[in-house]
């Protein structure tokens, strides 16, 4: 997917967040506004069946958002969002190699 396509869907509120993941997001302290902001200002750093977007929220805190296009509903499906951990290099774009 193209980042501008994803952003337009977010602006139009044409997205859904995995309902099973909403409680997890709340426990992580990640709001829907955080997710929207990360997508609207972020960049795609990985593409596979779903895209991984890196954005920054709050005090320049990195946030990864995994999403895909749900063609039947013509919506963006947000699978998860998380603050990258030590498995990511300091640029938050590159995964560390497994040892």
Q: Where are the domains of the chain?
A: 3-82
11-21 confidence digits (pLDDT tens): 999 999 999 99
Look at residue 4 in the predicted model and tell me its pLDDT. Answer: 98
Measured in whole angstroms, how far is the alpha carbon of residue 3 from the centre of its chain? 11
Lowest mean pLDDT among 20-24, 72-76, 93-97: 93-97
Q: What is the pTM of this model?
A: 0.91
Q: Could you name the CATH architecture of 3-82?
A: 2-Layer Sandwich (3.30)
42 CB-contact burial (10 Å; exposed 0-12 / middle 13-18 / buried 19+) = buried
């Amino acid at each position: 997917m193209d980042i501008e396509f994803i952003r337009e869907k977010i602006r139009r509120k044409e997205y859904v967040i995995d309902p099973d993941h909403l409680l997890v997001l709340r426990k992580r302290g990640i709001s829907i506004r955080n997710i929207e902001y990360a997508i609207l200002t972020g960049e795609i750093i990985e593409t596979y069946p779903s895209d991984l977007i890196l954005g920054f929220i709050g005090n320049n805190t990195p946030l990864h958002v995994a999403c895909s296009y749900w063609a039947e509903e013509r919506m963006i499906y947000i699978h998860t969002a998380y603050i990258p951990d030590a498995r990511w290099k300091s640029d938050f774009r590159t995964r560390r190699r497994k040892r």
